[in-house]
Amino acid sequence: MFDYHVHTTQSADCATPILASCAAAIEHGVTEIAFTDHIEHEPADMSFGFFDYDTYMADLRHARERFGDQLVILAGAEVDFNRRIAPEVEAFLAAHQFDFVIGSVHYGVDREIIFPEYFDTRSLDEVFFAYYEDIRAAIETGFFDTIGHIDLPKRYAPRAAGAYDPLRYESELTSIFKLLIRHEMSFEINTSGIRQAPKTSMPGPQVVSLYTRLGGSLITIGSDSHVVETIGAGIRQSLRMVELCGIDSVSTFRHRERFQTPIATLL
């Protein structure tokens, strides 16, 4: 079982040490884990300047020494992206080595979209349209291996903003998926949505089916864990879901190179 989205103490919003996460991963049946801490270039963000690459790599080495015989441990990153910080993101990735890099959009036009207030003065459509423009830009940079939580605003939109209908954004998603396919890039199935308000993975089956109808076949999968309890959570269930949508393999990475593993061998 693969969990390709797990945070450590190198993320400002996570207090779980890497060794505790490795032990929990093994206990939960995870065989391969990518530690993907927040890499933040938005100056106002709590994570700005928090990640220290050398400390992270030292932590990773310790984890591999201790658990490397039972668990494949990958150097990953969840790099925040929007068009304003693109030059800083590019410089950072050129200067640091990872196995696997997620590109995630967390910021809207002037602040993080994780606060309900963000939706006070904007319609759901305005939030999603701007979000998807940054997702498209993220793909076009070619900086990333996969795109994180592709319908993130659904996790934070307050009920007052109206019900989220994934296919309302079908034309935006269609252009994003065509772009992903052209760039031979994936998006992730982020299982954290299952345990949070949306009660479904990000994205869910309707959006994954749209991708496969367009000819897409590349996904990564991760729990977005910040605590040990959720490592590996929802992975099997989501693999069954994507299989029903017509996806038959999941991507793994070594030194930014993609490999495909058949889902049938994981379930």
Residues at the interface with Zn ion (CB under 5 A): 78, 104, 224
Using an 8 Å Cβ cutoff, are 56 and 120 in contact?
A: no
Residue among 3 and 78 whose Cβ is closer to Zn ion: 78
Separation of alpha carbons 8 and 15, rounded Å: 7
Which tokens sit at 235? 């992975």
Q: 120: Cβ–Cβ under 8 A, 6 or more apart, which residues?
A: none
Shortest Å, Cβ 122 to Zn ion: 20
Residue among 59 and 224 whose Cβ is closer to Zn ion: 224
Q: What is the amino acid identity at position 21? A: S
Shortest Å, Cβ 216 to Zn ion: 21
Q: What is the amino acid identity at position 10? A: Q
Helix, strand, or coil (residue 143) = coil
Residue among 209 and 251 whose Cβ is closer to Zn ion: 251
The CB density around residue 32, as the number of other CB atoms within 10 Å, is: 16
Q: Which residues pair with 253 in a beta bridge?
A: 258
Shortest Å, Cβ 25 to Zn ion: 16
Residue among 187 and 209 whose Cβ is closer to Zn ion: 187
Residue among 145 and 224 whose Cβ is closer to Zn ion: 224
Shortest Å, Cβ 143 to Zn ion: 15
Which tokens sit at 196? 């949070």
Shortest Å, Cβ 208 to Zn ion: 19
The edge-to-edge listing of strands for the beta sheet with 186-190 is: 2-6, 32-39, 72-80, 100-104, 146-147, 186-190, 219-222
Task: Tell me 232's DSSP state.
Answer: T
Residue among 112 and 243 whose Cβ is closer to Zn ion: 112
Residue among 115 and 248 whose Cβ is closer to Zn ion: 115
Q: Locate all alpha helices (DSSP H) within 146-259, ordered by sequence.
A: 153-156, 170-182, 192-195, 205-213, 235-244
Shortest Å, Cβ 6 to Zn ion: 8
Shortest Å, Cβ 131 to Zn ion: 12
Separation of alpha carbons 235 and 208, rounded Å: 15
Residue 148 has phi, psi (to 5 degrees) of -75, 150
